[in-house]
Amino acid sequence: MNKSIEFFDRQFRQAPAEASLRLNPFEAQALPHVHGEVLDFGSGMGNLTFAAAARGCRVTALDGSAAAVAHMQRRAALEGLPVVATQADLSDYPIRQSYDTVVCIGLLMFFDGPTGWRVLGELQRSTRPGGCLVLNVLVQGTTYMDMFDAERHCLFTPEALRQHFAGWRIDSCELADFDAPGQTLKRFCTLIAHKPLNDPAPT
C-alpha cells in the first residue's frame, strides 16, 4: 500500500465521527454540478457519492482505501442507493466508460507529476461531451508537506491547470488557503468545467 492510501485508510478505520460523514467544503461546492452518471474518483468515505445518489445520480465510487470502500458498500446496501464502490489504485486505473459528471477531489497531488497529468487526461477523456468535470487539488503555494512522499507528489500551478482545459467552458477556477500545522499553508484550487458538446475525442 502506498503512503497516501495508508494514511487515509488509517483515518477511515477509526469509527467515523459524525463530522467525517459531512460534506467537506469542496464536496459541497461540487454537489450542485453533479448529474446523471457520476464517477467519484478518489471518493474517500463517499460523502459526495451518497449525496449525489440521494439526488438521483448513479454513482461509481473508486478509492484505494479498503476501509472507505467497505463503508460505502455497507451504506449502499443499507440505504438502497445506486452506488457501486470499488477499491483500486487510481494512479494506474483504466477508466472504461464515460460519465456525465466526473469528480476528483483531493487526489492528484498524491501522484508524481507525469502521473498526475496523465490521470487528469484520463478524467477529461472519460467526461461525456457537454458533461462536467469538478477537480480539486493542492497547488503551488502549499507549504504543508507532511502528508507527501518526498518523491511521489505534485503541486500543479493554477495556470497550468487552466491551460489543460483549453477548449472547455471553465465555470470557475478558485483558490482557497487553509492554515496547516507549523505555520504552513494548504492552497487548494477547485476547477469546474464543461466539456464542449462537439468534442472530437473518443470517449
Ligand X SMILES: C[S@@+](CC[C@H](N)C(=O)[O-])C[C@H]1O[C@@H](n2cnc3c(N)ncnc32)[C@H](O)[C@@H]1O
**Residues found near ligand X in the complex (CB under 6 A):** 2, 4-5, 8, 24, 26-27, 42-44, 63-65, 68, 89-91, 105-107, 110
Tell me the closest approach of the beta carbon of residue 106 to ligand X, in angstroms: 3
Tell me the closest approach of the beta carbon of residue 198 to ligand X, in angstroms: 30
Tell me the closest approach of the beta carbon of residue 202 to ligand X, in angstroms: 25
Tell me the closest approach of the beta carbon of residue 76 to ligand X, in angstroms: 16
Question: Cβ closer to ligand X: 7 or 129?
Answer: 7
Question: Cβ closer to ligand X: 114 or 200?
Answer: 114
Question: Cβ closer to ligand X: 89 or 179?
Answer: 89
Cα separation, 195 vs 175, in Å, equals: 21
Q: List C-alpha distances in Å: 133 to 27, 34, 79, 109.
A: 13, 9, 26, 17
Q: List C-alpha distances in Å: 34 to 29, 30, 166.
A: 10, 7, 21
Contact criterion met (CB below 8 Å) for 60 and 40? yes
Helix (H, G, I), strand (E, B) or coil at 31: helix
